[in-house]
Amino acid sequence: MSNGFLARAVFTTHHKTVGLQFLALALFSVFFGMTLSLLMRMHLTGSTDTTPERYAALTLLHGSLMVFFVLTAAPQFGFGYYFLPLQIGAQEMAFPAFSAVAFWMALAAFAGMTASFFTGDAGPTIWLGSATLFCVAALLSAINFCVTAIDLRGPGVALTRLPLTVWSWFVTAVLSLLIFSVLLAACLFMLCDRFAGTQFFSTGATAEMTQLARGTLLGVWQRWFWFFAQAEVYIAVLPCFGLVSHLLSIFSRRPVWKERMAVLALCGVGVCGFCVWGYHMFSSGLNPYSPLVFSVLASSLGIPAAFLVASWVGTVWGAKPRFTVAMLFALGFVALFLSGGVTGVLLSNARLAASAAPNDLVTGHFHLVMGVAATFAIIAGLFFWLPKMSGRRLNERAGKIHFWLTIAGVYCIFIPMPWVNALDRSHSPFISQFVAVAVLVTIAAQFLFLGNFFRSLLRGDAVRKNPWRATTLEWFVSSPPPRENFSGAAPPSIYRGAYEIGRPFAGGDFIPQHLAPELVEKYR
């Protein structure tokens, strides 16, 4: 029995198990990260006596957990590993061994980054080694996703028939190949500085005299880091864009408005997001003309983003949406993304942004656009796909209470931060206490979700095969899916796009992707 358990749960290379492992890691990380954020807020309000060094380490650990193991792992690796083969008619990922190795390297990176907080002087080195492991895991996953999406599509699965979720996972994988390789190189060079006596980024006496005075060593590191960090924002939100577009269509019972435009917009976000790496480097000594170039590139990012927003609005415009919890969180993502964009207008002014870099203006903007908005999309995906993964659905009433408490809480936390900071009252005791209370309420609401999640897994309502009346291929196998996605047989052919919703057919209002044209005519 133990051998069977180890083969199924530990040494497995099966894509659905690996996806569940990444989702479990993300779920644990998000609650661990929220606990750290509460400790940070207690420090800011004077409730704890944390030293500045420990507070800096706490901030680094919080950011590392949320960026790597929640915002990257959940929407891309968790949902992507589980559903990419199902949605394109494949039995498995292209390289199953890469799937398993990627998860265990990510888990080792999680353990190392957590341990670095408690290991004193060795902490930075342990964190750096852990970041290196995660970069390798991300690159293995990116190769796996790209080859699977290109080479393993089932019969009839043309590019024009792919769901937007698949497009977002594919574009994110391409972007991951580009930027995680850069961060991997930077981490390896820094490890060489520590253990091999090199001076890629070190500040030894000789290097300080010859290069650091001109800003080259520090500047090289900043450029390499921002080459990754700016694009990492889009690695976190691109899968969320695809998922939200998908959910808005399904629960509005309408096709995605201008679907091909939305696909091009996803690609445009990936391209522009990769090219704006120097936009926030206000004090790094770049060429005086470079801010103009990066500002133009950053402004161009608004074009594909505006196309996506227009597609979302066009999809729900005039519809009669079904306000499930998944739909509410998808709409919450849209609201938070737009709110974060408004705060980003303040950062478009280079002088204001340079002076605001160390304070709450950037913190509030960053969390609204990337952190909280992406988390809303992840929760929407869990409410939508948990019936497929487990055969049981989450409680809708508890989910709606969780949604309203959470969205009210995050607005009370992050909206005061940039606007009050802009008014030069960011250190007001009243505001700090107000934000601290909002943090407590928001974290308490997440435990409501946690209870709903585990209760539903154990005693939740069983679901039929396709409770949401979706069109994509994963909903036409059993819930949960069999180990062999299509029961060992060849996957069905795909005859149509992913969003033929709102068309009357056989007493319903959608046409499955795999239904042959002659059957549609027969039962229409």
- Residue 387: asked if its preceding bond is cis (omega within 30°), the reply is no
Residue 223: per-residue pLDDT: 67
415 closest CA partner among 476, 466, 472, 365: 365
Q: Report how far apart, in Å, the C-alpha atoms of 308 and of each of 114, 371, 514 are.
A: 37, 19, 27
Q: Which residues contact 122 (CB under 8 A, 6 or more apart)?
A: 116
The pair of structure tokens assigned to 323 is 């306000």
CA separation for the pair 77, 383 (Å, rounded): 17
The per-residue b/e assignment along 400-439, b for 16 or more CB within 10 angstroms, e otherwise, is ebbbebbbebbbbbbbbbbbbbeeeebeeeebbeebbebb
**pTM for the model:** 0.89
Q: Which amino acid is at 364?
A: G
Residue 301: per-residue pLDDT: 78
Residue 206: per-residue pLDDT: 46
Residue 434: per-residue pLDDT: 78
500 closest CA partner among 491, 485, 510: 510
**Which residue carries 């779920």 as its tokens?**
27
Residue 356: per-residue pLDDT: 46
Q: Which residues of the chain have pLDDT under 70?
A: 1-10, 44-50, 202-224, 278-289, 291, 342-362, 364-365, 417-430, 432, 488, 522-524
> How many Cβ atoms sit within 10 Å of the Cβ of residue 459?
9
| Pairing between β-strand 461-462 and β-strand 392-393 as defined by DSSP bridges | antiparallel
Residues 384-408: pLDDT tens digits?
Answer: 999 999 999 999 999 999 999 999 9
Residue 49: per-residue pLDDT: 64
Residue 221: per-residue pLDDT: 64
Q: Are 298 and 278 in contact (CB under 8 A)?
A: no
